[in-house]
Structure 1
Amino acid sequence: MNRITFLAFAIFALTSCQSDSAKEIPAGVISRDSMVKIMADVHIAEARIQISDIRNSNPALKNTYIQEVLRRAGTDTARFNFSFKYYSGNPERFASMYEEVIIEISKKQAKQ
């Protein structure tokens, strides 16, 4: 029993220590660059929802608003959530992506 536990732990430790470049991105995951842009657009949409108080007037409208952002990006909720879960599984990578999201939001604000 102890050997099995040790082997399972060792395999887990070895596979979790691989670098990002050594891991293949699973099929169906949105590319990093596209995901950064989509995440920025989702944050902007959520901010607009907060400002316009849509969340209180019609909660379903918030979902519709986000769905439109995803549709324009050529994706859907399931694929976005799958990709979000994949990228957020690595905190360093995810923090780096969020730095890019902030830059993307700043660029969009500068254009307005």
Structure 2
Amino acid sequence: SASDIVILTETWLNSSIHDSEIFCSHADWNIFRHDRETRRGGGVLIAIKKNIPCFDVRLLDCNIEISAVCLSTPSNKIILAVCYRPPDCDSLFAVNLSSILVDIKTRFP
């Protein structure tokens, strides 16, 4: 069966790769990306079929490769998030990620 939501990590995408190159039917998808621009690898992507109401969740400015999307249902709001943790990340990664998650929880209780 076809997917309605696709979540990817370590996409290796950058600004030179257009959404239409990722999904051949890209017009049917809302695509949210956080590409790594400074070096190879990394990156995250959330793709949601356009028939599902959703919007990008603006996150705290940090150096973590993370994207979050809010899905609206008649009775709930659902937050989907994807994060890539590189093997060489520093000790502040967990602190920064925790801050982002607390911020999301505060704004979307």
TM-score normalised over the length of structure 1: 0.27
- Larger-Rg structure: 1
Q: Which has the higher contact order (CA 8 A, sep 6+)?
A: 1
Of Structure 1 and Structure 2, the greater strand share is in 2
